[in-house]
Amino acid sequence: MAATVLIIDDEQTLNHFVQEDLREAGYESLGALTGQEGLDLIRSQEVDLVLLDQQLPDMHGLDVLKVIREEEPDIPVIIVTGHGEIDCAVQAMKLGAYDYMKKPYNLDTLLLVAAKALEASAMRREIRRLRREARNRYALTWIVGETPQMKAIAQLLMRVAPTNASVLLQGESGTGKEVVANAIHQQSNRAEQAFVALNCAAIPDALLESELFGYEAGAFTGAHKQKKGLIEAADGGTLFLDEISGMKPEMQTKLLRVLETRTLRRVGGTRDIKVDIRIIAASNQDLVKAIREGTFREDLYYRLGVVTVNLPPLRERIVDLPLFVAAFIDDFNRSTGRNITGVSAEALRLLKAYSWPGNIRELRNVIERAIILCDGEEIRPQHLPAEIVACQPGPAAAPADAKGDGTPSNGHGLNLKDAVARLEEDLIRRALALADGNQTRAANALGISRDELRYRLRKYQLE
């Protein structure tokens, strides 16, 4: 479909001939003789490019430009200037005009500038589309799941995402803290700006300050030129600080100053630089305990944790495991060109029986490995790691190598895993009996969530 160019110029004859020239070049063209008429056309029709004269009978061209920039920021505007209007053209460029041209029109120059403006506009629109897709992708790949706890967390994050409040994510390694942080960013009004992530524990203490704050030329040996830090790189966007508990107290003090003053000073610098950032921090350590031990500042904790979210480990939301498996298979199918349709029932039982110490990150790695090894249409037990295959689901009361009384055949009676499993199954049976089969009351009696109880009912085939 041909691009549509709108000419807003009160010289009627010139307006008409420019329209004709553009049509011969393959464009659709529209004409307006006043600023208001031009704005009405933009509001009522699809317009891809505007040629805007500075001098109009009802409005100044710069005023028309301001309205277009506010209402349709993706439409490029080329300002047309007469003799002695170059200063106004420069001002128009500052207001967001794509380019300017002098009267009378040179057709070849006009067509060249128009083509470049439309190409730049198409590129901006494609970037916006990709960002929207990324935003939607994060919204979809951050799996909320079926557990009440995760649904409550999702509702909380939907409320906090559009704000500028700092968020503290706590949870074991691999629970998806960075994915959640990016989802918050993508659903915020900062989504068009940068999301900058830093693992504080992965940067040596001596380099962390210059990495975050940047440095001036000559600040230290080897600093040959000025370098902006990650805080400046995140200006207007979001800075994600993972493993914040690994930050030393001196750096905590400097970060606190940034949060309180919204300014930073580069290493070796003498002036403060204003920054507009949102900070999302994450930790797999108990920061309250770190405060008691004197390794983490209490005032920084409260500044970071305006909203605190505790992400549960995968073993406490095993009911959601099939959702993650399906999402990961879909991701890896796209990236590898495979067409794996799913997971066999036996493989899924093994995945559900495993304790997942590495949480969602470990599950993702397992699925990636399985897809590489899979020689059919579905993932089967032989495609899973040995430690998962060894974790056989089902009753634990009497292993295959046990005597009739449940004592292991080695004669020592010291198989801790089997003993704990037998005790756990017995307690669950007793709790269900006392609760007349009511799972919620049984879970409360056992001091676990209903989802944890349901997982164990499946594990011991007590459903």
Residues 368 and 403 occupy one common structural domain = no
| pLDDT bucket at 399, cuts 50 / 70 / 90 | very low
Question: Is the dihedral angle over the CA atoms 397, 400, 406, 408 positive or is it negative?
Answer: negative
Residue 138 has pLDDT above 70, yes or no: no
Instruction: Give the residue, 333 or 453, on which the prediction is more confident.
Output: 333
* All residues at 6 or more sequence positions from 323 whose CB lies less than 8 Å from its CB, including other chains: 143, 145
Is 357 a member of any domain? Answer: yes
Strand ranges in 167-304 using DSSP code E only, listed in sequence order: 167-170, 195-199, 214-215, 227-228, 238-242, 263-264, 273-274, 278-283
Q: What is the mean pLDDT of residues 205-229?
A: 90
pLDDT the model gives residue 135: 55
* 147 shares its domain with 53: no
Q: Same structural domain for residues 99 and 174?
A: no
- Does 284 lie in the same domain as 255? yes
Give yes or no: residues 238 and 374 share one domain.
no
Ranking 19-23, 82-86, 288-292, 350-354 by mean pLDDT, the lowest is 82-86
DSSP, res 315? G
Residues forming a β-bridge with 28? 4
For 81, 182, 287, the CA distances from 190, given in Å and listed in that order, are 36, 11, 27
The per-residue pLDDT for 401 is 43
Q: Which of 39-43, 81-85, 423-427 has the lowest mean pLDDT?
A: 81-85
Q: Is residue 136 part of a domain?
A: no
> Same domain, yes or no, for 151 and 229?
yes
Q: What's the pLDDT band for 404 if we cut at 50, 70, 90?
A: very low
Last residue of a domain, one of 389, 421, 446: 389
Q: Which two tokens stand for residue 41?
A: 């056309």
- 105 CB neighbour count, 10 Å cutoff: 18
The pLDDT, as a whole number, for residue 286 is 92
- Closest by CA to 311, choosing from 124, 433, 144, is 144
Predicted pLDDT at 120: 84
pLDDT band at 71 (very low <50, low <70, confident <90, very high): very high
Q: Which residue has the higher pLDDT, 164 or 436?
A: 164
321-336 and 107-141 helices, crossing angle to 10°: 150
Written as one string, the DSSP assignment of 134-198 is: HHHHHHHHS---S-HHHHHHHHHHHHHTTS---EEEE--TTS-HHHHHHHHHHTSTTTTS-EEEE
* Tens digit of each residue's pLDDT (9 = 90 or more) over 141-185: 467 788 889 989 989 998 999 999 999 999 999 999 999 999 899
Is 133 among the domain residues?
A: no
Evaluate whether residue 41 is within a structural domain: yes
Contacting residues for 400 by C-beta, under 8 A, at least 6 apart: none
Q: Which of 329-338, 395-404, 443-452 has the lowest mean pLDDT?
A: 395-404
Long-range pairs, 223-228, Cβ under 8 A, ≥24: 223/267, 223/268, 226/266, 228/266
Mean pLDDT calculated for residue range 346-350: 93
pLDDT at 415: 61
Q: What is the pLDDT of residue 402?
A: 41
Q: Can you give the pLDDT at residue 136? A: 54
Name the band, by pLDDT with cuts 50, 70 and 90, for residue 186. confident
CATH number at residue 421: 1.10.10.60
Average pLDDT over all residues of the chain:
86
User: Does residue 370 sit in the same domain as residue 399?
Assistant: no
Same domain as 101, residue 237: no
φ/ψ (deg, to 5) at 219: -65, -30
pLDDT of residue 223: 83
Statement: the pTM of the whole predicted model exceeds 0.85:
no
Whether residue 177 is found in the same domain as residue 272:
yes
Give the domain extent around 230.
Answer: 142-312
pLDDT for the residue numbered 83: 60
Residue 409 pLDDT greater than 70, yes or no? no
The residue-averaged pLDDT of 266-289 equals: 94
Local structure of 391: helix, strand or coil: coil
The Cα–Cα gap between 239 and 28 comes to 45
Can you tell me the mean pLDDT for 18-27? 93
Model confidence at 411: pLDDT above 50: no
- Work out the percent of the chain whose per-residue pLDDT is above 90: 59
Q: What is the mean pLDDT of residues 267-274?
A: 93
> What does the DSSP 8-state code read for residue 277?
-
pLDDT at residue number 167: 97
In a domain, 304, yes or no: yes
Considering its fold, how many domains does the chain have in total?
4
CATH assignment at residue 289: 3.40.50.300
Examine residue 132 and state whether it is found in any structural domain, yes or no: no
Closest-CA residue to 245 (of 209, 283, 213, 203)? 283
Question: Is the same domain home to 297 and 197?
Answer: yes
The DSSP call for residue 311 is: P
Q: Is the pLDDT of residue 210 over 80?
A: yes
In a domain, 137, yes or no: no
Which pLDDT score, from 0 to 100, does residue 413 have? 45
Specify whether 200 is located in the same domain as 301: yes
**Residue 162 domain flag:** yes
Question: For residue 408, is pLDDT > 50?
Answer: no
In the chain, pLDDT over 70 holds for what percent of residues? 89
Claim to verify: residue 325 and residue 269 sit in the same structural domain? no
CATH number of 20's domain: 3.40.50.2300
Final residue in a domain of this structure, among 127, 154, 174:
127
Ranking 10-14, 311-315, 352-356, 439-443 by mean pLDDT, the lowest is 439-443
Q: What share of the chain is helix, strand, coil (3-state, %, to 5)?
A: 50, 15, 35
Helix axes 450-459, 416-434, angle to 10 degrees: 120
Where a domain ends, among 127, 159, 182? Answer: 127
Residue 392 has pLDDT above 70, yes or no: no
